[in-house]
């Protein structure tokens, strides 16, 4: 009976997600204005989490600067992007691995809400993507990164890639560390069926570089942001393993 209920819940959650995603995609296709489209996706993400029995609690939202910033967070599940879409104001865009652009439905949706796709495996394309992200950041866009670049079935914080912090240092804006909890329990990387779980997002105080040279400033931002996330995550440091 327990196994049957898990499968039944997974089917319900999948159908609910698909229905809301299709509705949101149609809406963002016909809606003008980037922030309006992001607001539609935000409302749809919040509704899905509520209907799926995954209540979202956001703490520290007042820590977000009123101006441009770069949010960086730990990465534990495929749900993380959806959760941050629900948690953050619609002025934020996401920096996402380029493979997502080829996923039916998701790719179209992400393009319509101004997501930045970055190539991870082709160095030349990756450099071109990074330059485009930097141009947009310098133009004043606020962005969300998952600087681990991937996630593991093993709890813990992986090493951070430098892109988010170079972007923030070049744009001269603060980095805002954030911690997401509960998404690994709700949809674990090694478990195909979702489960009900409380999901929490905690926004931590912004980090501002004290050094002025680009490389030193980005290294400082990466070190301080990662230390802040690690201190609030209550998971092991996998980069030190």
Residues in Cβ contact with 171 at an 8 Å cutoff, skipping those fewer than 6 apart: 68, 70, 134, 137, 138, 140
Q: Is the pLDDT confidence value at 136 over 80?
A: no
Strand order in the sheet with 116-118: 56-59, 199-203, 175-181, 70-73, 142-145, 92-97, 116-118
Say how many domains are in the chain.
Answer: 1
* CATH number of the domain within which 133 lies: 3.40.1130
pLDDT digits (tens, 9 = 90+) for 28-86: 999 999 999 999 999 999 999 999 999 999 999 999 998 889 999 999 999 999 999 99
The average pLDDT across 101-120 equals: 80
Q: Which residue has the tokens 């804006």?
A: 173
Q: Is the dihedral of CA 118, 122, 123, 124 positive or negative?
A: negative
Confidence at 122, pLDDT banded by 50, 70, 90 = low
pLDDT digits (tens, 9 = 90+) for 156-189: 999 999 888 988 998 889 999 999 999 999 999 8
The DSSP-derived string for 86-99 is HHS-TTEEEEEEGG
Residue 182 near residue 152, CB atoms below 8 Å = no
pTM over 0.75: yes
Residues in the chain: 241
Q: Is the pLDDT confidence value at 103 over 50?
A: yes
**Percentages helix, strand, coil for the chain, rounded to the nearest 5?**
50, 15, 35
Range(s) of the domain holding residue 198: 2-240
Q: Is the pLDDT confidence value at 147 over 80?
A: yes
pLDDT digits (tens, 9 = 90+) for 204-221: 999 999 998 989 999 999
């Amino acid at each position: 009976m327990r196994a049957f209920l898990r499968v039944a819940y997974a089917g319900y959650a999948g159908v609910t997600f698909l229905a809301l995603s299709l509705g949101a995609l149609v809406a963002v296709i016909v809606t003008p204005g980037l922030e309006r489209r992001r607001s539609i996706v935000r409302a749809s993400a919040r509704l899905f989490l509520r209907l799926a029995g995954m209540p979202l609690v956001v703490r520290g939202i007042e820590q977000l600067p009123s101006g441009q910033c770069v949010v960086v967070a730990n990465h534990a599940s495929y749900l993380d992007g959806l959760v941050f879409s629900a948690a953050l104001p619609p002025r934020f865009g996401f920096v996402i691995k380029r493979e997502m652009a080829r996923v039916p439905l998701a790719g179209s949706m992400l393009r319509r809400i101004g997501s930045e796709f970055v190539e991870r495996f082709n160095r030349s394309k990756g450099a071109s993507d990074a330059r485009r992200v930097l141009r947009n950041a310098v133009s004043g866009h606020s962005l969300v990164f998952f600087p681990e670049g991937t996630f593991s079935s093993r709890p813990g914080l992986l090493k951070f890639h430098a892109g988010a912090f170079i972007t923030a240092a070049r744009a001269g804006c603060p980095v805002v560390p954030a911690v997401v909890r509960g998404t690994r329990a709700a949809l674990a990387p090694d478990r195909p069926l979702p489960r009900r779980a409380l999901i929490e997002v905690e926004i931590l105080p912004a980090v501002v570089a004290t050094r002025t040279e680009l490389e030193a400033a980005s290294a400082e931002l990466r070190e301080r942001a990662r230390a802040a996330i690690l201190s609030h995550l209550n998971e092991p440091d996998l980069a030190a393993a």
